[in-house]
Chains A and B, each alone.
Chain A
């Protein structure tokens, strides 16, 4: 096996396989536990989860083939290499790699934590959270090292089947078992709390919804493992077909919501981060060990499969940072990447066992960090060789510094601009980072020497 085969499957995957890969990344423990947790704890704002994914799929019809054609021509293996080649800037490639690896760690931690929660809940404490995390991590490491991306695609298929059955089954069975139907369940929710299922006037309001959906849709494909999955396709048509199919797959989230709402009525009282337990709690409260075990198995896979893709992505990027593509043997690179897998897993484990609210903070940082790569991507897709590497670097640095500063200081637009109307202050804080990112790009692009002969229109440098 070469590194290319290990990481992008030799670029021969057809529609179904790519669908499984991309879909496999979407259904993570965030969706399984977090989606029902948000429905339970927040109500209508949880609907952003279905919305942003669908919008990302619409974008993908044009975006992914454009990325694929370039990646295929340049024979790049990873997102950092893509940027480095597109902008003819190894420095930019390294920057993207650092941002990506930094963002992946909290994402991996989330999966490992979810794994711990699931296994200890399902076994009723028999398997401790700590033991579960060690076992799961070890299994993932072994699997990734041996099988690479093909293993992940097959695992994704199994996971998707189990999740589909579990979520759709529970989403229908639980409301019927407790209330006699889905409509009846919603009647009860509305009776208990009439404003829960519409977006509120302040807080997570309309402007929060729109800004969050827009930002996360932009960040959707910017995760390095997602971006890397694009390279594995046989041809660009694969993505166009998937753009039409994937929205249907998003509808599974509807059933996740049904579970969360039913849980709110049946096992109330969970608050804060404990809302993530809602799906498991209601399953345990309603069904016997076989169902609980089945749901647990599905849940475990929703942690392991994305976890393995994240691990592989991080290991590949690290290996390329250490040992650039033009040196020595292909198998040497593969060995290095494989050796790095346990190292990355180890770093994630350290953070996983620390726990506390800092993990939520870190995950939100992770998502907002990768979203900052979007303007640089659009600039190079749109302007090709005329796009300025310095502008991209400036934009990304400005965006990342803003994200870090705002998240660590726990600022929101409400704290920054207290006298502004709530339509402004409710906006997702990522809007600030994105704005500064784009501004920095435009300013530096205006001052940079042109890379190629031809017009460089400054006024609308991005899209």
Chain B
């Protein structure tokens, strides 16, 4: 899943696209989830939606972190040096 260190420095890998899912779910919450029902653990739906996606953000970022593993942390800056 991760690029081998021998390849040119890459900041973005394909699995990073996963981060877009919670980002869009949160950014567009008032369009997607702007209602009171159904309640999520007592919370009105809009607030519940946001809370659930905040939790999922953490999950997604952990997944991305694991998938990146020990891949070198470089970008074009390091190539310039």
Contact = CB atoms under 8 A, between A and B. Distances in A.
Interface of A: 44, 47, 50-51, 54-55, 57-58, 61-62, 65-66, 69-70, 73, 181-184, 186, 190, 194, 197-199, 205-206, 209-210, 213-214, 236-237, 240-241, 243-245, 247-248, 250-251, 254, 257, 381, 384-385
Contact of A58 (B19, B31, B39, B77): B19
Contacts of A186: 39, 42-44
Contacts of B26: 51, 54-55, 213
A384 B77 contact: yes
A244 B35 contact: no
**Which label, helix, strand, loop or mixed, suits the secondary structure of the A interface?**
helix
Nearest to A246: B58
A240 B65 contact: yes
Contact of B80 (A206, A236, A384): A384
A197 B46 contact: yes
Given A44-B46, A50-B50, A62-B11, A69 B55 contact: no
B30 A241 contact: no
A-B pairs with the 8 shortest C-beta distances? A183-B42, A244-B61, A199-B30, A206-B30, A247-B57, A247-B58, A197-B44, A244-B62
Given A210-B30, A247-B57, A247-B61, A198 B46 contact: yes
Given A190-B44, A198-B34, 17 more contacts: A44-B47, A51-B29, A54-B57, A58-B61, A69-B73, A186-B43, A197-B47, A198-B46, A199-B34, A199-B46, A210-B31, A237-B73, A240-B65, A240-B68, A243-B61, A248-B54, A384-B80
25 contacts: A44-B30, A47-B47, A50-B51, A54-B53, A55-B26, A57-B57, A57-B61, A61-B65, A69-B73, A69-B74, A183-B39, A190-B36, A197-B36, A198-B34, A198-B44, A210-B30, A210-B31, A236-B73, A240-B65, A244-B62, A244-B65, A245-B58, A248-B58, A384-B76, A384-B77
Contact of A210 (B28, B47, B55, B76): B28
A181 B25 CA distance: 28
A236 B44 CA distance: 38
Nearest to B32: A206
Given A190-B44, A254-B51, A51 B27 contact: yes
A206 B29 CA distance: 8
Nearest to B31: A206
A364 B47 CA distance: 25
A243 B54 CA distance: 12
A241 B74 CA distance: 17
B22 A58 contact: yes
Q: Which of A65, A243, A244, A251 has the most C-beta atoms of chain B within 10 angstroms of its own C-beta?
A: A244
Contacts of A214: 27
A216 to B, nearest CB: 12
